[in-house]
Amino acid sequence: MCHKIRTVCFVILGLLTMPFNGVAGEQSFHDFTVTSIDYTDMPLEDYKGKVVLLVNTASKCGYTPQYEGLQALHDTYQDRGFLVLGVPANDFWSQEPGTEDEIKQFCEVNFNIQFPMTKKMIVNGKEGTAPVYEFLAAELGDKSRPKWNFHKYLIDQNGKPVGYFKSRVKPNSTKILTAIDELLAGP
């Protein structure tokens, strides 16, 4: 009996602590707050009206050179209402072992990263996965979960996830550029 009551309490507590915008089934990317790489709150509602490319990153990965392309993409489109949001993750072969200060320094020194970044998060669907990543997987399906570093989610101006790109898809690929151009052009 105690086990059943405890389970019910955990379910209720989980529902009460989930981000919620007041309308069931209409949650958006903008309903979440994450923590920046500098340990300050980063409400994603600050990005309303912008197209966002959310990318889980790592400093010791074969795809790490994509940082250069991500910064170029950010620079090219930022004046049109676009931004890259980097999310360091140590989920895949421990390829992001550093502290937030070390990650930030690595990104600035080696790639002159100017786009916003969060603190490290768990992104791959295992225990402790960041709520925003659970939301993205719920919206786009379990197959959309990151399987490696530099997995990219594209979110529209209203906070709706509209697609994802696997790690091997480079930031300057026609696939990504076309998707961003279409979103920025509007309906």
Return the active site residues. Answer: 61
**Six-digit token string for 177:** 């550029």
- Encoded tokens for 43: 């409400």
Buried b (16+ CB within 10 A) or exposed e, 136-156: bbebbeeebbbebbbbbbbbb
The span from the CA of 102 to the CA of 165, in Å, is 27
- What are the φ/ψ torsions at residue 140 (nearest 5 degrees)? -105, -5
